[in-house]
Amino acid sequence: MVLTNETSHVYPFHWDVVTRAFWNKYPNSRLAHVERVDVLDRRIDAEGRLVTTRLAKVTQKNLPGWVRSALGDSTYVFETTVCDPQQKRLVLKSTNLSFRSVATVNETCVYTVHPDNAQKTLYEAEAEVTAFVPFVSRKLESFSVSRGAETAAKGIRAVEEICNDIFQGTFQPAFCETVNAANSVVEHPLFLLLELNVTGMEEELSGM
């Protein structure tokens, strides 16, 4: 069975400001569960849209023992973002790479100009959780949806704080280290074992 959680929020800022905040969301002390995000690919497609694929390492704190035994503390998340500056529409789709035989978490987030006020931005997100663990699937799905809602709320607040800093002219981009074999998640054995095909993963996410 699939459990779904939907979230929406109106940012009192122009789409250009919100999407700039989106790209500067990490690293962020308020979102410490996201340990790092590596850009795997970035290009302009035939329609003039910026297409970015990233791999994130996420570590959840204070997990119940039964959840930790099923999912572990850390997971790797693959995401594709398509940003259309002409239509002013940004769509992020993500899915977990770790423990997919236990559960899948597919999320779609959309940032568009608010239909009633062009100076505001509408954020809409939908997460679908499917667990495959006998006897506790429903419980695991419910926990994942609940925890996901909590982290989504933190993400909304983080983006809004960055928007405020941008609007007030006090924003300072966070330092992003250069990727190397010692610190990149793409060197993790899980990543190498999967022999991740970026195009194939993008196609899978586009079908969500």
Contact 153, 43 (CB under 8 A): no
Beta-carbon contacts of 132 under 8 Å, excluding residues fewer than 6 positions away, are 101, 102, 103
The per-residue DSSP string of 98-135 comes to: TTTTTEEEEEEEEEEEETTEEEEEEEEEEEEEEE--TT
Contact 37, 176 (CB under 8 A): no
106 is in which domain, residue-wise? 2-206
Contact 55, 185 (CB under 8 A): yes
The Cα 112–Cα 49 span in angstroms is 14
What pLDDT is recorded for position 195? 46
Model's pTM, two decimal places? 0.84
What pLDDT is recorded for position 175? 61
What pLDDT is recorded for position 63? 75
Residue 135 vs residues 4, 9, 166: alpha-carbon distances, Å: 19, 35, 48
The Cα 150–Cα 147 span in angstroms is 5
The count of domains in the chain is: 1
Handedness of CA 191, 194, 195, 201 (dihedral sign): negative
Cβ atoms < 10 Å from Cβ of 35: 14
Question: Per residue of the chain (208 residues), what is the pLDDT tens digit?
Answer: 788 999 999 999 999 999 999 999 998 888 988 998 999 999 999 999 999 999 999 987 777 777 777 777 788 999 999 999 999 999 999 999 988 888 899 999 999 999 999 999 999 999 999 988 777 788 888 878 888 888 899 999 999 999 999 989 888 887 655 555 445 555 554 554 444 555 565 666 677 6
106: left (phi over 0), alpha (psi -120 to 50) or beta: beta
Beta-carbon contacts of 36 under 8 Å, excluding residues fewer than 6 positions away, are 26, 27, 56, 57, 183, 185
Structural Rg of the chain based on CA atoms: 17
The Cα 130–Cα 104 span in angstroms is 5
CATH number at residue 187: 3.30.530.20
